[in-house]
Structure formats: structure tokens, C-alpha cells
Amino acid sequence: MVKKMKQSERLNKIPPYLFAEIDRKIAEAKAKGIDIISLGIGDPDKPTIPTVIEEMHKAIDNRANHDYPPYNGTAQFRKASADWMKKRFGVKIDMDKEILAHIGSKEAIAHVFFAFVDEGDYTLIPDPGYPVYKNATIFAGGTPYSMPLLAENDFLPDFDKIPEDIAKKSKLMFLNYPNNPTAAVCDLGFWKKAVDFCKKYDILLCSDQAYCEMTYEGYTAPSVLQVEGAKDIAIEFFSHSKSYNMTGWRVGFVCGNAQAIKALGTIKNNIDSGVFKAIQQAASVAYDAEQGQIDELNKMYEERKQVMEAGLKELGWNVTPSKATFYLWLPVPKGFTSEEFATVMLEKAGIVVPPGNGYGTYGEGYFRIALTKDVDILKKALSRMKEAGIAYDMGVVKK
């Protein structure tokens, strides 16, 4: 008789990863012969921008790129990233002490919890929010404390509502603007409040800037590091994934407070061996891509956004136009839970959307749409919803 292996208790505390569950449901639906339109995962459907691909062809043939990379990133990549921070935000970054290459933001975000969170520590995380914030807290032995993102507060956390005893026990805070999943944005005034709060309680402030270049309607996303004195307690995570259509390349950087960068580097040095040097070389030229290439991507997403927003309005949703990301965050019809509505969308219309509760307790009552399909497919999805009788005023008819 084969003895059953006992996994660690921490795994029993982790819910199924939302996007893995989405992949599983897609596979099940396809096996039943359902023609699926997936609006679930934020994975750009267009190829990586041409200048990056061209540079990668050169870089991969260079034998000098075939050995182990420096743990903190190549000098070329760190300098290019620091130069971009200066050009984009006016923030000066020391390329030797204040910046670190990472294997995509997800990896670095998960690792920073191990660098700062001990058993019994608290973390302050947005709810709804990227699931890694909560799960990485649990893996590190900490306790996640949810900061509700509510519609009446423009999906910004209210720092005054955080109990003082929790704040005193908290080691780090994660914020993400432009926001996934709500598509909310913030200004420098908000970042100033966050910096002041974290300084008061000696909390590491972590800003997840995965969507800072995906903005519309005249909005430009600021950096927390633009706030005077922010480097005393803040670091910021940047990713090439969404801005340059490089999700599969797994590359980006984190910058800011030198002590925090060093601590994160220590964790990474003992767990991973860095980003393939050829990828870092290719990623370095992304910053110099013609602005027209980035503008064209944003124009494409804005067109998709407008089509979906207009179609949803016709189906009864009260849609406030978003100013950033390629997501729409919408309330489910009355009488439905998030999961019930996501099931109706899949079974009645063959459309995959993530239920809001997959992003946290305060995500209940919402669902997210990713604008990662062509306009024609989005129109097809809207048509399917209409034909299936899916509308905001569906009432309590669930089956």
C-alpha cells in the first residue's frame, strides 16, 4: 500500500488560484463542444512590439548572453530602466543600489513578502486585489488584513479605517494603481497620503505599477516615488508584460528604497538565477520604442473599451468610462452572486469572465471583463449576451 504524502499545512490555507480555475473551466467547456469567448485573463492578444522582437533576434545569437546573468540584472537593463524612470516620472534611481531586475512582477511581488514578513506579522492588502498579495502573505506566515476598495470611495482604500493595532503590527502595504481588477486610478495626492501613513507606522509601501502605461482620456499615471521622501519607505514594481505585449517574456524591474531592494535581492539570489540576458537586452530597447507604437496599442484598447461600454449600456449596465488598464469592473445583476453570474455567462453565452469574489471578499457582487479580444469578437460576445437574455435587469431568474 502506497503511503499518502502529506503536504504542508500552508497549502491547505491557499484557495485554488483564480486564473488556473479559469483555464480549467475553459477546458471543460471546450470538451463539451462549447464555442468559447474568453474575456477572463489579462493576456494581450497582439504580438510583442516589433523593436523588441528585432533586438531579441540579435541578442539570442550572441554567445555572451548564454551564461548565467547577474543576479540583480545586467548593467544595460538596470541603466535603461533607471533612465526610463527619470524620463517618465522625473525620478532619479541609483542603478547599482535602488533597482533590481525580476522575472515578471508576479515573482518579485511574491518574494518581497518572504523578505519582510515573519510569523504573526500583518500585511495590508487591497480587496478586491491581485490574488498573489494575499496568498504570498500566507506563504510567508503572515496575516493579510483587507483594505476594502469600495465604489463609493472610487475604489481607493480609506487609511483612516485601518485599526491602529493592525497598523502597528503590519510590515508592508500593497497598492496597485491603475488598478486590477477595478480599473480605478489615483493621483499624487493619494500617494502622498499612503506615504504619510506608512511612514507613521514604519510600513514598507509596495506599489504595483503593471498598468501605468495603459491610460486613456488624458489621464497619466503617477509614480509613488514622485512623492517627496517616498524612497524612505517605498518600492515600486514595473512590468514589461502589458505595456509592451511581453507577458510571456517574464521581465521587469523593481526600484526604490535601497534597503528593501537589497533584502528582496537576498531572497531572489537564493531562489532564482535571474532573467536570461538576451531577454534583458531586448527588454532594454522597449523603453526607446517609438511612442507611436505605445499610442497605437492604447488606441486599440480604448476602441475596444468604448465598444464594450456602449454595448453594456444597451444591456442596462450603468458604465462609468475607465481611464486605465484593459479591464472593466462591473456589478452583476441583482439576485446573482458573482459565481452564479459567471456560470450563466459561460453556460448560456459561452463567455468566460472571472467572478469578482475571486479577487477578495469585497469583490463579491462584481465581475471583470478583459479587453483582450478584437472588436469583432467583443461585438459577438455582446450579441450572445443579448440573445441569451443576459442583461442588468435580469431579475432573479437564474436558470
User: What is the model's pLDDT at position 174?
Assistant: 98
Q: Tell me how far apart the 2 most distant CA atoms of the chain are, in Å.
A: 66
Query: 328 and 191 in one domain?
Result: no
Query: 182 and 277 in one domain?
Result: yes
Residues 291, 295, 299: CA angle, nearest 5 degrees: 175
User: What is the model's pLDDT at position 395?
Assistant: 62
User: What is the model's pLDDT at position 19?
Assistant: 63
Query: 184 and 116 in one domain?
Result: yes
User: What is the model's pLDDT at position 43?
Assistant: 83
Query: 248 and 299 in one domain?
Result: no
16 belongs to a structural domain: yes
Grid cell at residue 30: 471546450
398 belongs to a structural domain: no
13 belongs to a structural domain: yes
Strands (E), 4-85: 37-38
Residue 5 backbone class (left: φ over 0; alpha: ψ -120 to 50; beta: rest): beta
Q: Which domain holds residue 180?
A: 50-286
395 belongs to a structural domain: no
Backbone angles phi, psi at 255, to 5 degrees: -145, 165
Q: Please state the domain count of the chain.
A: 2
Query: 205 and 56 in one domain?
Result: yes
**Last residue within a domain, chosen from 257, 286, 315:** 286
102 belongs to a structural domain: yes
Query: 124 and 245 in one domain?
Result: yes
Cell numbers 510567508 correspond to what residue? Answer: 140
What 8-state DSSP symbol labels residue 177?
S
Q: Return d(Cα 137, Cα 114) in angstroms, integer.
A: 8
Query: 280 and 149 in one domain?
Result: yes
Q: Digits of tens for pLDDT over the chain (399 positions)?
A: 556 778 888 887 777 666 677 677 778 777 877 788 999 888 888 889 889 999 999 999 999 999 999 999 999 999 999 999 999 999 999 999 999 999 999 999 999 999 999 999 999 999 999 999 999 999 999 999 999 999 999 999 999 999 999 999 999 999 999 999 999 999 999 999 999 999 999 999 999 999 999 998 899 999 999 999 999 999 999 999 988 888 999 999 999 999 999 999 999 999 999 999 999 999 999 998 767 778 888 899 999 999 999 999 999 999 988 999 999 999 999 999 999 999 899 989 999 999 999 999 999 999 999 999 999 999 999 999 999 999 999 764 444
Query: 110 and 41 in one domain?
Result: no
Query: 217 and 89 in one domain?
Result: yes
238 belongs to a structural domain: yes
257 belongs to a structural domain: yes
- CATH no. for residue 240? 3.40.640.10
b/e map 263-288, b = 16+ CB within 10 Å = bbbebbeeeeebbbbbbbbbbbbbbe
Q: How many Cα atoms within 13 Å fall on the side-chain side of residue 136? A: 24
**Last residue within a domain, chosen from 227, 257, 286:** 286
Query: 181 and 320 in one domain?
Result: no
Please name the helix (run of DSSP H) or strand (run of DSSP E) that holds residue 102, with its range, or none: strand 99-102
**Last residue within a domain, chosen from 270, 286, 302:** 286
- CATH no. for residue 319? 3.90.1150.10
Length of the chain: 399
Q: Return d(Cα 397, Cα 399) in angstroms, integer.
A: 6
Query: 70 and 38 in one domain?
Result: no
